[in-house]
Amino acid sequence: MGLALSSVVKTRARELGFDRIAIGPAEPPEHGAALEAWLDAGYAGTMGYLHRGRADRLNPARLLPGCRSVVAVAMSYNGSTAPDDDWRPVSRYARGRDYHDVIRPRLVELGEFIRTAAGGASRVAVDSSAVLERDLAARAGLGWVGKNTNLLTPSLGSYFFIGIVLTTAALPFDQREPDRCGTCTACLDACPTRAFVAPYVLDARRCISYLTIEHRGDIDGELAEQIGEWVFGCDVCQEVCPWNRKAEPGREPTLGPSGSFGALETLLELDREGFRARFRGSAITRTKRAGLLRNAAIVLANRGERSAAGALSRALGDADAVVCRAAAWALEKLRAGREVAP
């Protein structure tokens, strides 16, 4: 009965568009102590919500009392975006529709299917919930945690989202995936900001994804230069991973790019309403207007885009001080580059 139930749950998950499914125990995560040490070391930067939800992340039963099983699912976002198109400065995961809006309704439907088939209760979680979804997914056998701290699978690489269904139903567990990173350190070596303290340990305060998305306020000049051309997120440690060279293409069309991202100078002209209208339904709203305009100014300077001087000069009068200071930094960098150019 248990194996048959597991089979129908996995079949339903695939029908809902998930690319890989694994089932494991809903026990306190193995790396709970490592999480606490990571938080205590300050590596979370200004992500205070990780501290506030610490207790919940260390015990899934706080989210769903009596939970016994975890159904972990993966949905690939590995699209076919050409590397030279205008979406290049945006991390792959954010080039389409906001993944929360795509995945969460399907997780709810999967949870309801499990409740109907097996009884009991269920609760779903994407990365906005206080659950260590990567840790639970690895224990379930969805993949292994790579040295760049991403979950990896042989078929999907790391270009996928994780969804979790906690359930009080007792389901048979899958076997775990072994760590297949071996001696490879490509991800650690490629990081532009040297954000990895050690294999499997990321100092978010130096991570380009954190700086361009989660961090509020100014970005230190040295780190700003190391951001390179990333306006939102960063895929460097994933792009160099050998497993991603073999990754299957994603099947969900809404996660792929729709339309053009556009010239960066146009971002500097967006007011609050314009920002909301342009990025409605996109994960890019996470960085908020000030963060995105700050990032755009930095990247224009890093590119040496002297034609953007006019837009940057107008941004000096922006109502947000962070945008003003980023524009001033960018203009100074462009002036310095002009002075040393042959």
pLDDT averages per 10-residue partition of the chain, 342 residues: 84 97 94 92 92 85 94 92 74 95 97 93 86 94 98 97 96 96 98 98 98 97 96 98 94 89 94 96 96 98 96 97 98 79 40
Q: Taking the CA atoms of 197, 205, 60 and 114 in sequence, report the sign of the dihedral they define.
A: negative
**pLDDT at 340 (0 to 100):** 39
Threshold 0.85, pTM exceeds? yes
Beta-strand relationship, 69-76 and 122-125 = unpaired
pLDDT of the residue at 307: 95
CA dihedral for 41, 44, 47, 51, sign (positive or negative)? negative
> Partners of 239 in the beta sheet?
none
pLDDT of residue 81: 56
Fold exhibited by the domain 2-167: NADH Oxidase (3.40.109)
What does the pLDDT read at residue 82? 56
* CB count in 10 Å sphere of residue 14: 12
Q: How many CB atoms lie within 10 A of CB 100?
A: 15
Dihedral over alpha carbons 290, 194, 53, 281 (to 10 degrees): 40
* Structure tokens that stand for 155 in this block: 């078929």
Active site residues: 127
Q: CA-CA distance, 154 to 152, in Å (whole number)?
A: 7
Q: Which two tokens stand for residue 119?
A: 């009884």
Q: Where exactly are the structural domains of the chain?
A: 2-167, 193-227+262-335
Q: Compute CA 120 distance to the chain's CA centroid, rounded to the nearest angstrom.
A: 31
**Do β-strands 160-167 and 151-152 pair in parallel, antiparallel, or remain unpaired?**
unpaired
pLDDT of residue 84: 52
Instruction: Give the chain as a 3 state SS string.
Output: CHHHHHHHHHHHHHHCCCCEEEEEECCCCCCHHHHHHHHHCCCCCCCHHHHHCHHHHCCHHHCCCCCCEEEEEEEECCCCCCCCCCCCCECHHHCCCCHHHHHHHHHHHHHHHHHHHHCCCEEEECCCCCCCHHHHHHHHCCCEECCCCCEEECCCECCEEEEEEEECCCCCCCCCCCCCCCCCCHHHHHCCCCCEEECCEECHHHCHHHHHHHCCCCCCHHHHHHCCCCCECCCHHHHCCHHHHCCCCCCCHHHCCCCCCCCHHHHCCCCHHHHHHHHCCCHHHHHHHHHHHHHHHHHHHHHCCHHHHHHHHHHCCCCCHHHHHHHHHHHHHHHHHHHHCC
CA distance 38 to 305: 38
